[in-house]
Amino acid sequence: MSLFLPTVSVGKATDITPELIRAMDANAILLDVDNTLALHGSQTPFPGTVEWAKHMRKAGIRLVLVSNNFKKRVEPFAAKYGLPFLSLSLKPFPAAYHRAVRRLGVEPGEAVVVGDQIFTDVFGANWAGIKSILLVPAGMEQSLSFRLRRALEKPIRRKIKEKGCGSQFTK
């Protein structure tokens, strides 16, 4: 069960502050794309996220996008943020996260995975030995496999709420 629990749980990406990342003893974010920064497949960033990314970087937090989606989806999107990216990352397998921390020049212990999915972002982070922040998914996907994953997430999200995951950082 604990492999499916994030270090911290917040509502959306823009709720994350440099102070929160520092309180987690980190200085880098490995950032999911779909339903974290935009609706699935959309090139339109969620309001405030471009400015948020800029603010985080100004505060000394390093950022890289880590997406399972195709290069042709992620590359133009990353350009809007001026961020490096990894596409076709095969999350939850840890290889891309390890590549991402090397790309940023940090240790795994200094990084935080941020994403909306328990079975890819959170499980992958735990597998890679990296801290994580789980977001509330912003959009509802239509495909059956996605709807199934969201249904399987439900009891875990309930447990996260009960445990108050990461409230020691956010208070």
Three-state secondary-structure class, residue 163:
helix
Beta bridge partners of 28: 62, 111
Name which of 110 and 121 has its Cβ closer to Mg ion: 121
DSSP E strands, 35-107: 62-66, 85-86
Q: Draw the binding track, 103-122, toward Mg ion (x: CB under 5 A; -: no contact).
A: -------------x------
User: For the chain, first and last CA: distance in Å?
Assistant: 25
Residue 68 CA to residue 51 CA, distance in Å, equals 24
Q: Which is nearer to Mg ion, 23 or 41 (CB)?
A: 41
Question: Facing residues of 65 across strands?
Answer: 31, 85
Asked if 153 touches Mg ion (CB under 5 A), the answer is no
> Which residue from 31, 32, 125, 134 is in contact with Mg ion, where contact means CB under 5 A?
32
Q: Would you count residue 126 as binding Mg ion (CB under 5 A)? A: no
The reply on whether position 35 binds Mg ion by CB under 5 A is yes
Q: Is 89 a binder of Mg ion (CB under 5 A)? A: no
Residues near Mg ion (CB under 5 A): 32, 34-35, 116
